[in-house]
Amino acid sequence: MRQEKSVYSFMSRDGEEDSAFRINEGKFKGTIYSYSNIILPREQNEILRLSFKFDILDSGGHTREDYGDDWVNLIGDILADQIDERIETEQLVFRPNPTEGDPL
């Protein structure tokens, strides 16, 4: 499900290239997190699966127990939106047979 841009924003620390995301609205408001080990969608039983890991950098006062399936679904939707947006603007291009030395 698409997420409104107001739901999240990008963040980065001075001197760091990697971006983090901040949740601005809803149950997880104030949470700052980043993605790692992203595996782009692949078909599994006729369903596209996006795989990723995440690190919570600041819980925004939420407890570990607050982060269940609804959390994973939310940040999965945000990641899917970002991938779609980058494909549409040609900032992300799929190569069927990447070669060594290709940028990720």
Q: Is residue 93 part of a domain?
A: no
Convert the pLDDT of each residue in 41-97 to its tens digit: 666 677 777 889 999 999 999 999 999 999 999 999 999 888 888 778 876 666 665
pLDDT at 55: 95
Range of the domain at 82: 5-88
Q: Is residue 65 part of a domain?
A: yes
Q: Is residue 30 part of a domain?
A: yes
Q: Provide the domain count of the chain.
A: 1
Average pLDDT over residues 11-22: 78
Q: Is residue 44 part of a domain?
A: yes
Average pLDDT over residues 4-10: 83
Nearest to 26 by CA among 8, 1, 11: 8
pLDDT at 98 over 60: no
Beta strands (DSSP E) in the chain are 8-11, 20-23, 32-44, 47-58
Q: Is residue 79 part of a domain?
A: yes
CB 55 within 8 A of CB 25: no
Average pLDDT over residues 21-34: 95
Residue at token pair 């945000």: 78
Q: Is residue 32 part of a domain?
A: yes
Q: Is residue 64 part of a domain?
A: yes
The pTM for the full model equals 0.75
Q: Is residue 58 part of a domain?
A: yes
Higher pLDDT, 67 or 6: 67
Angle at 27 between CA 37 and CA 7, to 5 degrees: 65
